[in-house]
């Protein structure tokens, strides 16, 4: 992404686009990945010139370090996603404007896509990749994604083959040894369009062996299994694990453990590697440790044995209670076997409140509560271990997330049955005790601080104007994900500061609204509440508050207080 914005900028300037046309094209830094895939433009921008310069220098450092480790970098190529200004320069170009993406209107989506069969595609694509190779050298692997979460203008197999053939030609015109690395996500995200004939046509527009497909979500939705191993093209079996980098325990240990080896044994398998493709990695470290180890294995691990040794590896502790705790977690919250389950953290805690929220779980919370008790009991002798410190906060956070769902159900039932005292009691506990306690807990560990996230974003700025832009991007990605909540709460995080000023404020307004409805006899209207709570959500993005970047409070004392207060309630609610 760093490299892409720099080279695209240079290419479009060389073609004759003016500054405003270029600024209209790029999104802000928090949304550049989706800008690159053609999903949206402009929102969160414009990118300052300093951003491009800083990212260019960073890219040089990244590539130097990767190559020094013997890693093979993958460089970006041209996908056909273009600024609207291209039409001013080349009015005869064959350009299609795609439909809206993910609830965004055409002010920020409906991207312009240059037909790969148009001679201009080869011209721009070659110019761009030449610039990339000139500046950064090459290891001959290039990635680009056509029609990511967007429907192509034609389902004709001949058209789709011509598209991929033309995209690949723009690579080989610059590098005859080029190999195209492509995400296979489009085949899963739009199964109504991508039938076998369409998939095969796109894949076979490139010579076999000159494309590598990332089977992006293979632990849950393996595409290789119904495409005859991508119809002969090499593929990498990938664990996605987490959409949006959400906080919250989740895992699919059984399918993770067996999936790569099943893929290898598949008839005429074209598997060439194992990978990880999460949208965020700073959660569920046990899943990434297991997946990393599987890359070195010739067969699945013994999960029971593997997890029994996890506490020793993570904490240097041989306490039986910690082994028992991790066995409980591995068998429950980390072993989702629900078909087609996508981990977006469905907990009501991190979603805009309503009377009809998803409260389903794939595991028995009793196992989580037992593990929590064992970890709390082991805590006094292990608080100096940063890994244990983090996990104590994380498991307590998960318990309070579960309890939030329980209190939410009490709140909804009390309102439905018009029981004001019960509504006041459950709502009061949630808003004035549980969520503040959770905020204090999260604020006591450096791994759960909103302030750190915002400080890092602002650190890229040269002046206060840039700092405010980066701050807005960082806050918006966590919350509204768009100007009006187009992908609301997609990248939710349970962090100190965010819990207090965003989630707790929403829940407070929700309970207050329900109480007022019962008091006055008015019906609850979700649309009216949405309008009111949007002001809270938007207010957080622009509140200009500085949040702590250093942990505050004694984690053990806070966690122990929460345990003594809520563990008995947790057992009663089973």
| Span 385-402, pLDDT tens digits | 999 999 999 999 999 999
d(CA 252, CA 236): 18
DSSP 175-242: -TT-EEEEE-HHHHHTTTT--HHHHHHHHHTS-TTSEEEEETTTTTS-SGGGTHHHHT--EEEEE---
Question: Would you say 272 and 226 are in contact if contact means Cβ atoms under 8 Å apart?
Answer: no
Residue closest to 7 by CA, chosen among 42, 60, 57, 52: 52
And the tokens for 399? 């318990």
Q: What is the CA radius of gyration of the chain?
A: 25
Strand extents, DSSP E, 81-158? 81-82, 95-97, 112-114, 141-143
Q: Give the Cα separation of 282 and 489 in Å (integer).
A: 17
Q: What length does the chain have?
A: 574
Alpha-carbon gap, residue 451 to 548, rounded angstroms: 5
Q: Quick one: CA torsion of 479, 481, 483, 486, rounded to 10 degrees?
A: -110
pLDDT of residue 6: 67
Using the Cα atoms of residue 286, residue 291, residue 295 and residue 298 in order, give the sign of their dihedral.
positive
Cβ atoms < 10 Å from Cβ of 464: 10
Helix and strand element counts for the chain (H, E): 25, 9
Predicted pLDDT at 573: 87
Are 35 and 26 contacting, i.e. CB atoms less than 8 angstroms apart?
Answer: yes
Coil, strand or helix at 503: helix
Of 171, 170, 178, 154, whose CA–CA distance to 120 is shortest? 170
In whole angstroms, give the CA distance from residue 542 to residue 535. 11
Q: What is the distance between the alpha carbons of residues 214 and 188, in angstroms, rounded to a whole number? A: 12
| pTM of the predicted protein model | 0.95
What are the strands, taking DSSP E only, across 241-294? 271-276
> Encoding tokens for residue 153?
């203008």
- Low-confidence residues of the chain: pLDDT under 70: 1-6
Q: What pLDDT, on the 0 to 100 scale, is given for residue 1?
A: 43
pLDDT for 7 equals 76
Cis peptide before 46 (omega within 30 of 0): yes
Sequence-ordered alpha helix ranges (H) in 48-137: 49-68, 86-89, 119-136
Domain spanning 346-572, CATH class: mainly alpha
Tokens 């009501």 -> residue = 348
- For the chain, domain boundaries: 208-315, 346-572
């Amino acid at each position: 992404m760093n490299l892409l914005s720099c080279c695209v900028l240079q290419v479009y300037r060389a073609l004759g686009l003016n500054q405003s046309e270029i600024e209209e094209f790029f999104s802000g830094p928090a949304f550049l990945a989706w800008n690159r895939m053609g999903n949206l433009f402009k929102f969160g921008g414009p990118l300052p010139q300093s951003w491009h310069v800083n990212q260019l220098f960073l890219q040089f450092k990244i590539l130097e370090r990767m190559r020094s480790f013997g890693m093979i970098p993958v460089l970006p190529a041209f996908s056909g996603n273009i600024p609207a200004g291209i039409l001013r320069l080349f009015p005869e170009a064959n350009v299609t404007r795609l439909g809206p993406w993910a609830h965004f209107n055409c002010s920020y989506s409906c991207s312009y896509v240059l037909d790969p069969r148009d001679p201009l595609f080869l011209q721009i694509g070659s110019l761009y990749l030449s610039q990339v190779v000139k500046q950064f050298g090459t290891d001959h692997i290039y990635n680009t994604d056509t029609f990511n979460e967007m429907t192509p203008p034609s389902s004709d197999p001949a058209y789709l083959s011509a598209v991929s053939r033309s995209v690949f030609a723009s690579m080989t015109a610059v590098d005859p040894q080029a190999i195209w690395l492509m995400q296979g996500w489009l085949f899963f995200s739009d199964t109504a369009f991508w039938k076998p004939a369409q998939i095969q046509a796109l894949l076979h527009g490139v010579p076999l062996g000159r494309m590598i497909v990332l089977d992006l979500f293979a632990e849950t939705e393996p595409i290789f299994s119904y495409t005859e191993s991508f119809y002969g093209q090499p593929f990498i079996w990938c664990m996605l694990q987490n959409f949006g980098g959400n906080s919250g325990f989740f895992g699919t240990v059984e399918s993770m453990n067996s999936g790569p080896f099943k893929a290898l044994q598949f008839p005429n398998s074209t598997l060439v590697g194992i990978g990880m493709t999460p949208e965020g990695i700073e959660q569920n470290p046990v899943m990434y440790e297991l997946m990393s180890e599987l890359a070195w294995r010739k067969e699945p691990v013994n999960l029971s044995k593997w997890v029994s040794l996890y506490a020793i590896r993570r904490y240097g502790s041989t306490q039986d209670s910690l082994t028992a705790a991790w066995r409980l977690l591995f068998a429950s919250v980390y072993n989702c076997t629900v078909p087609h389950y996508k981990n977006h953290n469905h907990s009501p805690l991190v979603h805009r409140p309503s009377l009809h929220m998803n409260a389903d779980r794939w595991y028995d919370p009793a196992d989580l509560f037992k593990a929590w008790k064992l970890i709390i009991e082991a805590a006094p002798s292990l608080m100096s271990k940063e890994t244990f410190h983090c996990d104590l906060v994380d498991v307590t956070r998960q318990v309070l997330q579960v309890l939030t769902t329980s209190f939410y159900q009490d709140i909804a039932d009390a309102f439905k049955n018009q029981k004001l005292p019960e509504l006041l009691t459950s709502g009061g506990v949630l808003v004035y005790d549980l969520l503040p306690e959770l905020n204090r807990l999260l604020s006591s560990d450096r791994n759960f601080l909103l302030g750190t996230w915002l400080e890092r974003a602002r650190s890229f700025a040269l002046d206060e104007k840039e700092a405010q832009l980066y701050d807005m991007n960082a806050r918006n990605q966590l919350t509204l994900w768009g100007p009006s909540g187009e992908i609301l709460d997609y990248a939710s995080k349970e962090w100190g500061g965010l819990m207090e000023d965003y989630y707790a404020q929403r829940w407070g307004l929700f309970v207050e609204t329900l109480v007022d409805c019962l008091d006055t006899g008015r019906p609850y209207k979700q649309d009216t509440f949405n309008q009111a709570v949007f002001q809270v959500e938007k207010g957080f993005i622009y509140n200009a508050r500085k949040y702590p970047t250093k942990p505050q409070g004694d984690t053990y004392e806070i966690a122990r207080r929460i345990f003594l207060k809520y563990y008995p309630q947790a057992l009663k609610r089973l």
